[in-house]
Amino acid sequence: MSDTGGFTQLRDAIEQRTAVVGVIGLGYVGLPLAAAAARAGFPVVGFDTDPAKPAQINAGRSYIDAVDGRVLADLVARGRISATDDLSGLAGCDVVVICVPTPLTRHRDPDLSYVEATTRAIAQHLRAPQLVVLESTTYPGTTREVLKPILEAAGHVSGRDAFLAFSPEREDPGNAAFSTVTIPKVVAGDGPEAQALVVALYGAIVDKVVPVSSLDVAEAVKITENIFRAVNIALVNELKVIFSAMDIDVWEVIEAAKTKPFGYMPFYPGPGLGGHCIPIDPFYLTWKSREFELPTRFIELAGEVNLSMPRYVVDKLAEALDRRLRLALSASRVLVLGLAYKKNVSDLRESPSLKLIELLEARGGEVSFHDPHIAEIPPTREWGHLAGRKSVALDAGALAGFDAVLIATDHDMVDYALVVRHAKLVVDTRNVVARLGLDPERVVKA
């Protein structure tokens, strides 16, 4: 390892926790990381192009469930963390961590526009030496092939001015057992000096750091984790359809199978996939594999199965309305229960509930929703036409006014006994009614 002056200066600042850490993108990944770095003793500046987010942070208000508002308010009051929408402040940072979205295009190709724009902003304001870390999930090769050329085209040499690294985010919204600090952090740097710096940075913030040999390996780790989940969820979703035709309860099968103490891991079916990771990230590898003329049949098949689940659920609902109530879906009022993509969070990213609403309305149904964590649907890029709709009350009178209740997300705060008692028909995609031992008479699993 060559001991350049810039490397030594930056390493000492990180080890002494005087390095200013800038976090770009203050969403479900960036804000928890910024708070964790501030709690570890680093001065932290958060950056987001949406001015509402820095305003809330500077007022000591958290809008992410994983960050306790009281903790954030204390960090702000003590001057440990601040936020801005002015990216020129990057010039004052020693470390810059990129936590921006990596969505798909309409053709399901990677959309790296946020990463590219952010890297150009860093290049414009970079003050050597800086450690630049990408956390956004992407395909293997992104840090080398996208970030590095942008920075070096602006005259910032990797390993001298900018020390490049990749560390995949592993946030799991709503998971009370693990947090940013307790989840092991995979890291890799562009060269030994960048590796040493990124290990030192995250070693000061999280409990365990897992160094790997290259940027590409670190990028592949995150893709592998998400493909593993996507393929296994697709498998149980497909089994759900097959077993339903055989009049076999897939949930009972899974509960019995998971009693085997080896060779089996339970995954659960649902109405579709949500969140940023599983519905999107596998397609990044599918796209990259085309460069090597290699097929990704398992990944693409899993995507097809999971993407088909909302339509399967709507078909089951339509069938249940017809058989049990002699009603057409086009003449029915449906309550979608749970809008978030997973239980006990307010995260709407890629939520199948939004697709369910669209499909139900396309078939003529009148649709409302209830979610104890989401009072109103916010504007989103793909679902802007649903923005502004408000969660309806969940009481006996309201339930009686719907022809069917579709349980799409099994939030713990919902009174399912009330739902089962007063709904004419319940279509349960999460097995929550059976799990709670409630009366299954008016319940159809989907």
Give the C-alpha separation, 97 to 47, whole Å. Answer: 10
Contacts of 254 (CB under 8 A, 6+ apart): 236, 266, 267, 268
Q: What is the pLDDT of residue 381?
A: 77
Contacts of 128 (CB under 8 A, 6+ apart): 6, 156, 160, 161, 162
Give the C-alpha separation, 199 to 202, whole Å. Answer: 6
Strands (E), 53-94: 81-84
Backbone angles phi, psi at 318, to 5 degrees: -60, -40
Contact at 8 Å (CB) between 188 and 213? yes
Q: Collect the ranges in the chain with pLDDT lower than 50.
A: 1-2
Q: What is the pLDDT of residue 166?
A: 98
The reply to whether 277 belongs to the active site is yes
Q: What is the pLDDT of residue 172?
A: 83
Q: Whole-prediction pTM value?
A: 0.89
Query: Residue 99, SS3?
Result: coil
Radius of gyration (C-alpha) of the chain in whole angstroms: 24
Contact at 8 Å (CB) between 409 and 391? no
The residue annotated as part of the active site, out of 14, 234, 277, 348, is 277
Give the C-alpha separation, 152 to 4, whole Å. Answer: 18
Which residue type is seen at 72? L
Give kind and range of the element (H or E) at residue 335.
strand 333-337
Q: What is the pLDDT of residue 1?
A: 42
